[in-house]
Structure 1
Amino acid sequence: MRILVTGAAGFIGSHLSTRLLERGDEVLGYDNVNDYYDPTLKEARLARLQAHEGFRFVRAALEDREAMDAAFRDFKPDRVVNLAAQAGVRYSLENPQAYIDSNVVGFVNILEACRHHAVEHLVYASSSSVYGANVKLPFSVEDNVDHPVSLYAATKKSNELMAHTYSHLFGLPTTGLRFFTVYGPWGRPDMALFLFTRNILAGKPIDVFNHGHHRRDFTYIDDIVEGIVRTLDHVPRADPDYDFAHATPAASAAPYRLYNIGSNRPIELMRYIELIEENLGRKAERRLLPLQPGDVPESHADVQALQSDVGYAPETPVEEGIRRFVAWYRDYYGA
């Protein structure tokens, strides 16, 4: 197939693009390669992709409607995976406009382009952040998510609502994936695993928020990519018999679906840190701090729907995932 992947220079996007290219798909990567974090890491990911004959690349922002339209017009994608977004919970407190530009205006541009270019299926990144102040665990796609605690989360919830509207009005098949704390080689430098590894090797203290009482559903990148690919190949269909008297946020009469994609095996942050220490052969100096604004103390994905529909089964234990990340980090940075 011809697949357009936005955010192709990003962590998940680069891994997904590699997997699609390796199975024989043509991929058009679309990314503005911004400086939210080190652009040289993004360029290194792109260099690996550009070694593949079936890869092309457009350097542009989601909110650039003309560039978006030109990419769709020239490439004529069969399917689209939208992973580009302004990421990060805490940064949304500092620069909210960036989230509206990329995650709201940019997503409308994606939806419009998919609509007018007869795209067969749009898969897009949502986030576990949408669960916000929810306390029932594990988090289920059947749950109400009307209490976000960050603007980032609110923009992701808006994406789900906007996608449903296009599925309903125009018959555009859309699938939203709520990612749970993705980690692994080539990961994002603003995420805990990267920050902890860098500081421990440098002999600097690590900031441990919520005094280390976090529990997170850490999900290895290969398991995430497997879930995306299976979902991309599973196009949702309209359901004229859908019972709105028993409606849930996860499905509709329209060709629309929502799934959690996580490991379904949350662990305590302190245990996560211990595993990093074991792989580095060094102890961390821990600076215990209170819970940050916009953050949640625990996440746990109920992935039963994804298992039932596409056979998703995360396989990578966190012990193995951290080992692979540390090996990559030492090799890439010569640490």
Structure 2
Amino acid sequence: MKVLVTGAAGFIGAHCVLRLLRDGHQVLGLDNFNGYYDPQLKHDRVRWVRGQAGDFQLDTVDLADAPAIKALFVRERPQVVVHLAAQAGVRYSLENPRAYLDSNLNGFLNILEGCRHHPVEHLIYASSSSVYGANQHTPYSVKDGVNHPLSLYAATKKANELMAHSYSHLFGIPSTGLRFFTVYGPWGRPDMSPIQFARAISEGQPLKLFNYGEHQRDFTYIDDIVESIARLVQLPPLAHPEWDREQPDPASSMAPWRLFNIGGQHPVALKTYLVLMEKHLGQKAIVELLPLQPGDVLNTCAEAADLAQATGFQPRVELDEGLGRFIAWFRDYYPTACRPRAVHG
């Protein structure tokens, strides 16, 4: 099929493009290569994908540019949209909130309008485990209410789920929202803990461990995320005319709309995570223990039985194995990531 992947030069996006190309799909990528982090890493990801699976079309377009997004849908007519582009980062949303309105709300509206006027067989879009916000009961279930976000980033992701539902109901767009849980692996974002921790340990610099390292995260290896997406591409949701309005299921609808968690389902304390990273790097960390950051969720753990039932797959890469693969990539790529270099598979 012809698949539009937004955020194609991003961490999850690049891995997703690679997998879809290998599966034989025609992939059209979209990315704006913004400066939230060094765009060189994004360009290197694209070269890596092309080196592994061959060339693909990649347009430099900003999601908030409504005329450009409209023209892209008119010209390309994708059958499936995998919408992964967004302004990421919980902490950055405290510093630059308007970036989240432009990309995550206006940008997503432009994608929905494209899918409305040029109907697609399936819209898959990225949500986040951060939508669970103030919820304390774990594991988090897609059947839980998520009405208390702790950051603007989380609020925009919850808004995306609601926006997608309204367009599914009004215009019949089959849409699947995916709540990702702490994705990590090779080619990850430099603002996330794996690269930040690995750099600090390697350079003998202090690393910041918030909430004194007491909170837990449900780490999910990138290959498990991509496997789930690849299987879902050809499984668009159907409308459920018998959906119970008296006792509504938050994860499904009378419209062709649904939600899934994608998580490793084995939460790990940050202190344990750090010990594993020290093992793979062969160095001890210098740790600065700090209070919980505003906007951060205490603990995360995914309940993902619905995803396993729908796809026949559930995440399987253990954290120790995944960190080993990540550190092997990190040693190969850094510290020369900020200047042009030959990229190896």
TM bucket (normalised to shorter chain) is: over 0.9
- After superposition, residues 216-255 of structure 1 pair within 5 angstroms as 216-255=217-256
Q: SS of 1:211's equivalent?
A: helix
TM-score normalized by structure 2?
0.95
In structure 1, what is the equivalent of residue 3 of structure 2? 3
In structure 1, what is the equivalent of residue 212 of structure 2? 211
In structure 2, what is the equivalent of residue 323 of structure 1? 324
Cα distance in structure 2, aligned partners of 1:112 and 1:50: 30
What is the Cα deviation at residue 334 of structure 1?
5.8
In structure 2, what is the equivalent of residue 278 of structure 1? 279
Give deviations 1:34-53, integer Å, cap 9, x for gaps.
11011100000112234444
Question: Is 1:27–1:54's contact at 8 Å kept on the other side of the alignment?
Answer: no
Give deviations 1:80-108, integer Å, cap 9, x for gaps.
00000000000000000000000000000
Question: Is 1:26–1:54's contact at 8 Å kept on the other side of the alignment?
Answer: no
Question: Is 1:175–1:236's contact at 8 Å kept on the other side of the alignment?
Answer: yes
Q: SS of 1:24's equivalent?
A: coil
Give deviations 1:56-89, integer Å, cap 9, x for gaps.
0110110011111122222221100000000000
Compute the RMSD of aligned alpha carbons: 1.0
TM-score normalized by structure 1?
0.98
Instruction: Tell me which amino acid in the other structure corresponds to 1:132.
Output: G
What is the Cα deviation at residue 308 of structure 1?
1.2
Q: SS of 1:245's equivalent?
A: coil
Cα distance in structure 1, aligned partners of 2:334 and 2:195: 12
Q: SS of 2:246's equivalent?
A: helix
In structure 2, what is the equivalent of residue 154 of structure 1? 155
Give deviations 1:222-260, integer Å, cap 9, x for gaps.
000011111221110111111111102100000000000
Cα distance in structure 1, aligned partners of 2:30 and 2:42: 12
Identity %: 58
- Between the two proteins, the alignment pairs up a number of residues equal to 335
Question: Is 1:49–1:55's contact at 8 Å kept on the other side of the alignment?
Answer: no
Cα distance in structure 2, aligned partners of 1:269 and 1:96: 27
Cα distance in structure 1, aligned partners of 2:39 and 2:55: 23
Cα distance in structure 2, aligned partners of 1:81 and 1:43: 20
In structure 2, what is the equivalent of residue 44 of structure 1? 44
In structure 1, what is the equivalent of residue 31 of structure 2? 31
Q: Which runs of 5+ in 2 are unaligned?
A: 337-345
Instruction: Tell me which amino acid in the other structure corresponds to 1:328.
Output: W
In structure 2, what is the equivalent of residue 14 of structure 1? 14
In structure 1, what is the equivalent of residue 343 of structure 2? none
Cα distance in structure 2, aligned partners of 1:199 and 1:226: 31
Cα distance in structure 1, aligned partners of 2:29 and 2:292: 37
- Of stretches 208-217 and 235-244 in structure 1, the one that deviates more from structure 2 is 235-244
Cα distance in structure 2, aligned partners of 1:50 and 1:318: 28
- After superposition, residues 277-296 of structure 1 pair within 5 angstroms as 277-296=278-297
Give deviations 1:247-297, integer Å, cap 9, x for gaps.
021000000000000000101101100011000100000000000000011
Instruction: Tell me which amino acid in the other structure corresponds to 2:12.
Output: I
Instruction: Tell me which amino acid in the other structure corresponds to 2:157.
Output: K
In structure 1, what is the equivalent of residue 340 of structure 2? none
Is 2:234 aligned against 1:261?
Answer: no
Instruction: Tell me which amino acid in the other structure corresponds to 2:294.
Output: P
Instruction: Tell me which amino acid in the other structure corresponds to 1:19.
Output: R
Cα distance in structure 2, aligned partners of 1:11 and 1:133: 27
Cα distance in structure 2, aligned partners of 1:287 and 1:263: 27
Cα distance in structure 2, aligned partners of 1:128 and 1:213: 18
- After superposition, residues 7-156 of structure 1 pair within 5 angstroms as 7-51=7-51, 52-53=53-54, 55-156=56-157
Cα distance in structure 2, aligned partners of 1:54 and 1:75: 17
Question: Is 1:50–1:56's contact at 8 Å kept on the other side of the alignment?
Answer: no
Deviating above 6 A after TM superposition, structure 1's stretches of 4 or more consecutive aligned residues are none
Q: SS of 2:179's equivalent?
A: strand
What is the Cα deviation at residue 162 of structure 1?
0.4
Is 2:303 aligned against 1:302?
Answer: yes
- Of stretches 260-269 and 226-235 in structure 1, the one that deviates more from structure 2 is 226-235
Q: SS of 1:4's equivalent?
A: strand
Question: Is 1:149–1:295's contact at 8 Å kept on the other side of the alignment?
Answer: yes
Question: Is 1:28–1:56's contact at 8 Å kept on the other side of the alignment?
Answer: yes
Instruction: Tell me which amino acid in the other structure corresponds to 1:259.
Output: F
- After superposition, residues 166-177 of structure 1 pair within 5 angstroms as 166-177=167-178
Cα distance in structure 2, aligned partners of 1:58 and 1:71: 9
